[in-house]
Copies of this chain bind each other. A is one copy, B any other.
Amino acid sequence: MYKTLLSFILLSSLMLQASDILPSWNEGTSKKDIISYVSAVTDEKSKDFIPKKDRIAVFDNDGTLWSEQPAYFQLFFIMDRIKTLAPQHPEWKTKEPFASALKGDLKGALKNGMEGLMALVMATHAGMTDEAFDDIVIEWIKTAKHPTKNVHYSELVFQPMLELLDYLRANDFKTFIVSGGGIDFMRPFASEVYGIPSNQIVGSSIEVKYENKKITRLPKFRFNDDKAGKPVAIHYHIGKRPVAAFGNSDGDFDMMKYTEANEKYKTLQLYVHHTDEKREWAYDRKSHIGKFDKGLDYAKEHNWTIVDMKNDWKVVYPFELKK
């Protein structure tokens, strides 16, 4: 009797588990890869077992955890801020890249490449305390809307990836964001949206100084958390090699190869491939944003998991669940 009861409880719990894991993922190779990896490395009897303290999972943000089209969302933040600040800067009306930005002409504003971009970044990201900047970002994320999807930017996170983050944390992984985006742009809202504490959110940064009990943001670039910068940022912020890495573009390729080269533990590398032009966007090798070319070839050759967004995901965004 006792044994029957026990079997029943175990069976129910297994069934519950199976139906609960990654509910927005269709059955298929991607879902199977994730579950079999997590099962192997969390099973104490497995040769692939990883102690909890070393279960480090790193996620790119733009294009991996939320959308990044038609331009990185931080660029829309910049354009919106330029408009808000324009009355204090009458000279912007005739001065590039501000003049183009004020007309909403992103392409024109960025036609001089990094130089124009940096001018826009510094005009909108520096000159205030860290806490004042937090408030600016929070206000924007609560009010601004995506130009074509017409919803708040924080609604454009990927439901299947939220489930993946939860699933990993439920299995005692520590989840980190390692993004080319601004560290201080992400932190004010990403903690709440993704359930990742601010100290586990890593990104590009500008210089700051401490004076009069305050941190003030300075108009000087400090660190580019992209490509080879990602493993460097992982070194400083995490201090150990990850075991699982999640990205969507060639910008994440170094971070993923760095993870793959973990000599101590079995690893998982997963690329989100943007294949869904209907629900999201479809782009890869030739895209200006989120270019996915070398990484795609390597991923195929090395049997990394490549998520086919169109076929692997039941829904893309959380709001689809409410329909």
Contacting pair A213 B183 (CB below 8 A):
no
Chain A interface size, as a band, is 35 or more
Interchain CB contact (< 8 A) of A239 among B201, B228, B236, B241? B201
Known contacts A210-B254, A232-B208: A237-B53 contact under CB 8 Å: no
**Residue on B nearest A241 in the bound complex, by CB:** B131
State which residues 180-225 of A face B: CB under 8 Å. Answer: 183-184, 187, 191, 197-201, 205, 208-211, 213-215
Interchain CB contact (< 8 A) of A191 among B53, B209, B211, B254? B53
Chain B neighbourhood of A200, CB < 8 A: 199
- Measured in the bound complex, the distance between the Cα atoms of B232 and A174 in whole Å is 24
Chain B neighbourhood of A131, CB < 8 A: 241
Q: Distance (Å) between the CB of A214 and the closest chain B CB?
A: 8
- Measured in the bound complex, the distance between the Cα atoms of B208 and A34 in whole Å is 32
Contacting pair B199 A228 (CB below 8 A):
no
Q: Tell yes or no: A103 within 8 A of B by CB.
A: no
- Measured in the bound complex, the distance between the Cα atoms of B228 and A60 in whole Å is 31
Chain B neighbourhood of A257, CB < 8 A: 213
Q: Tell yes or no: A261 within 8 A of B by CB.
A: yes
**Residue on B nearest A187 in the bound complex, by CB:** B239
State which residues 244-262 of A face B: CB under 8 Å. Answer: 254, 257-258, 260-261
Contacting pair B228 A211 (CB below 8 A):
yes
Q: Distance (Å) between the CB of A59 and the closest chain B CB?
A: 15
Q: Distance (Å) between the CB of A213 and the closest chain B CB?
A: 4
Contacting pair A213 B53 (CB below 8 A):
no
Contacting pair A235 B258 (CB below 8 A):
no
- The digit string for A40-67, where 1 denotes a CB below 8 A from any CB of B, is 0000000000000100000000000000
State which residues 127-142 of A face B: CB under 8 Å. Answer: 130-131
Chain B neighbourhood of A211, CB < 8 A: 228
Known contacts A53-B191, A199-B200, A200-B199: A210-B231 contact under CB 8 Å: yes
Contacting pair A237 B237 (CB below 8 A):
yes
Contacting pair B130 A205 (CB below 8 A):
no
- Measured in the bound complex, the distance between the Cα atoms of B237 and A209 in whole Å is 14
Q: Tell yes or no: A240 within 8 A of B by CB.
A: yes
Q: Tell yes or no: A75 within 8 A of B by CB.
A: no
Q: Tell yes or no: A238 within 8 A of B by CB.
A: yes
Q: Which residues of A contact B (CB under 8 A)?
A: 53, 130-131, 174, 176, 183-184, 187, 191, 197-201, 205, 208-211, 213-215, 228-232, 235-241, 254, 257-258, 260-261
